[in-house]
Amino acid sequence: MAELLSALAVALSWGLFALTWGRYRKRPSLHNALYSLGLLLFALGVSAELLARLLGAWTPALYRLWYLAGAMHGVTFLGLGSLALLNPRAARGLLLLLSPFILYGLHLVLSAPLDLSALPTPHAPSGKAFPEPSLTSPRLWTIPFNLLGTLLLAGVALYTTLLFWRRNPLRAQGTALIFVAALVLASTSTLNRLGVVGLEELGRALGVALLYLGVVLADRSAYAGGRA
């Protein structure tokens, strides 16, 4: 069952990336570029997690890929893309501000010592293979990146939902689903950090399904067709 849920999350993630990348190629914009990058990273993260489960254990390279793409930046660029939809200038400024920290996080993920034997199970999606959270450990930097990305993704979705609830119901329904998806994905990650395991596959599959449906509904609205 866990493998089936993981495979569903992988399929939906790559499908959503393909949809957004297609929108970017037709209508290039900062919003679509950042959202495509975010979905690519998310898809790589859930794919690495599924592959580790199928192999029965993480390899060092696969674990580092999962941590960078999924654990650290699973929602960072999705949040920036949402901000870019409302205010491209603010999104550019924030991306420029975050760039040194993003590069530093990349350096840490690639260079930090790894102890896969510290994981609760050989294929567990847990950050415990890296050193305890500190300024020189990747485990500390996942917190601000995920918090910022989730706040931007959920905040913009909630704002858009309230703004267009009467003017564009289809758009509002889509962004409401995106808001719920952000909460589900954030809750899953938070529970994982608190040591509550076993809900990752269900939470990610449900979160990605809601995100996919939300983006499709929003994309069909007249407003999304003119702005995204």
pLDDT tens digits along 131-174: 998 999 999 999 899 899 999 989 998 998 898 888 888 888 88
Please give the radius of gyration of the chain, using alpha carbons only, rounded to the nearest integer: 17
Query: Over pLDDT 90: what percentage of the chain?
Result: 47
The total number of residues shown for the chain amounts to 228
| pLDDT value for 182 | 86
The tally of CA atoms less than 13 A away on the side-chain side of residue 143 is 8
pLDDT in tens, 25-70: 988 999 889 999 999 999 999 999 999 999 999 999 999 999 999 8
Residue 222 has pLDDT above 60, yes or no: no
Q: CA-CA distance, 205 to 191, in Å (whole number)?
A: 15
Q: Give the model's confidence band at 217: pLDDT under 50 very low, under 70 low, under 90 confident, else very high.
A: confident
Mean pLDDT of the chain: 86
Quote the tokens at residue 148: 């910022």
Task: Please tell me the pTM assigned to this model.
Answer: 0.86
Name which residue leads in pLDDT, 139 or 190.
139
Residue 226 has pLDDT above 50, yes or no: no
The tally of CA atoms less than 13 A away on the side-chain side of residue 144 is 10
The whole-number average pLDDT for the span 98-122 is 95
Burial group, residue 184, by CB count within 10 angstroms (0-12, 13-18, 19+): buried
Q: Give the model's confidence band at 3: pLDDT under 50 very low, under 70 low, under 90 confident, else very high.
A: confident
| pLDDT value for 172 | 85
The whole-number average pLDDT for the span 93-114 is 96
Q: Give the model's confidence band at 18: pLDDT under 50 very low, under 70 low, under 90 confident, else very high.
A: very high
